[in-house]
Amino acid sequence: MTDAELAKTFLTIGEEYERYRPGFPDEIAAAVAPERMRHILDLAAGTGKFTERLVSRADRVVAVDPSEPMLAELRRKLPEVSALIGTAEAIPLPDAGFELVTVAQAYHWFDPEPASREIRRVLTPTGRLALIWNAPDPRCAWDSDAYRIAHPRPESESASAEPATVLPRWDVPGFTQVDSIRFPWSEQITRSDYLSRWMTVSTFLAADERERSELVRRVEGVLDDHPDTRGRHVLQLPQVTDALLYEQTA
């Protein structure tokens, strides 16, 4: 299945994503928006997991996402945010209106060239782009094992299936990376909610019932086998959040 087809799996979920996906540390929002701004755009905002960290950091925050179920959750919890249907490749906003565009947990789904042109179009001349991802802490063996089940790769690409031990680098057309931040953190999550979280991941959403059951069985096997999770109802889950900061090239 192509990346474009996997991306479309998110168009039909909203409540589940809001309930089970992790949020983002406020420290990351403070790093990408250290001073109050006039206008921030959260692109591919989903249910507002990162948007909610931005509302106190700007006079106006706008959220854009292609999924109406996702935006319904965002509007419910963040009524002060302008929430618009749109894509990174066709942003429904005028030119040069934002000092910062943030993209949390989504840039890997974009078509880079048209998305970058659109992001540059809506940014002010000195505006910045921030790409943010939550990721498994590579020091957590059991979560890393589950990650490899959820994100399989051909054997020839097996290294890319490993949780990153260093910050990722993304070449974004028309932008130059100027900074990177990694923030380790941890959350408590029940075993049931941890399994439900994987059900909001594209490979699980795209699988048929038999394939999905097999994926869940394999993740359950990881939890049953590892000493840090075996027999436990509540799990301590280490994570890292990475932020990559970009300026526009001349």
Q: Residue 59: CB partners within 8 Å, gap ≥ 6?
A: 36, 37, 38, 39
E-assigned strand segments in the chain:
37-43, 58-65, 82-85, 98-104, 123-136, 175-190, 234-248
Given this model, what pLDDT does residue 163 score? 65
- 96 vs 235: CA distance, rounded Å: 45
Q: Which residue has the tokens 């840090």?
A: 228
Q: How many domains does the chain have?
A: 1
Average pLDDT, the chain: 92
Please state the rounded mean pLDDT for residues 158-173: 70
| pLDDT grade for 250, boundaries at 50, 70 and 90 | confident
What CATH number corresponds to the domain at position 226? 3.40.50.150
**Whether this model's pTM surpasses 0.95:** no
- 74 vs 47: CA distance, rounded Å: 4
- pLDDT by residue (tens digit) across 53-112? 999 999 999 999 999 999 999 999 999 999 999 999 999 999 999 999 999 999 999 999
For residue 52, the enclosing domain spans 3-248
Please report, for residues 54, 92, 155, 166, 170, the alpha-carbon distance to residue 95 in angstroms, rounded to integers and kept in the order given.
21, 10, 44, 35, 24
| pLDDT grade for 156, boundaries at 50, 70 and 90 | very low
- pLDDT by residue (tens digit) across 211-242? 999 999 999 999 999 999 999 999 999 999 99
Taking the mean position of all CA atoms in its chain, how far away is CA 45?
Answer: 9
Given this model, what pLDDT does residue 103 score? 98
Q: 41, 183, 21: which is closest to 105 by C-alpha?
A: 21
Q: Kindly give the pairing relationship between strand 82-85 and strand 98-104.
A: unpaired
